[in-house]
Amino acid sequence: MAAQTLGSELLCTLNGFVGSPRDIGTTPRGTRRYYPAIGGSFGDPRLRGEVLPDGGDRLLIRPDGVLEQDVRITLKTDDDAFIYVRSTFDQRSICRNTARPIGERLPPNMVRYSIFETL
């Protein structure tokens, strides 16, 4: 049996805004930080609306350097429908010896992402 290719197409572009981070503190799994969603918008000819200020980005910076993100937001479409979005992913450095200060960006060729979306 031949392998099938999963097709996809762009649904919309989302521009979200977050507030000041809240440092939750250090836990056995790593350092936790929360960024509250404060609004935004999304749009494409087929789907448009706003990002509601009721969710946020839960970030875990693990001791091994892996960044785990758990983003949960609610979208409200122009026709008053609500869409719950949850996006979880982790970011891993591909190269060894890439220790850098927290918050410093790595070049794209040094990072691997695992992304899981729920709509």
- Three-class DSSP category at 118: strand
pTM of the model: 0.71
Residue-wise pLDDT tens digits, 31-55: 999 999 999 999 987 899 999 999 9
What's the token pair of residue 32? 């936790």
Stretch 71-98: mean pLDDT: 80
Residue type, 30: G
Query: Which pLDDT score, from 0 to 100, does residue 83 have?
Result: 92
Q: What's the full length of the chain, in residues?
A: 119
Tell me how far apart the 2 most distant CA atoms of the chain are, in Å.
52
pLDDT digit string, tens, across residues 73-84: 999 999 999 999
DSSP calls for 35-60? EEEEEEEEE-TT--EEE-TT-EEEEE
- Residues forming a β-bridge with 86: 72, 118
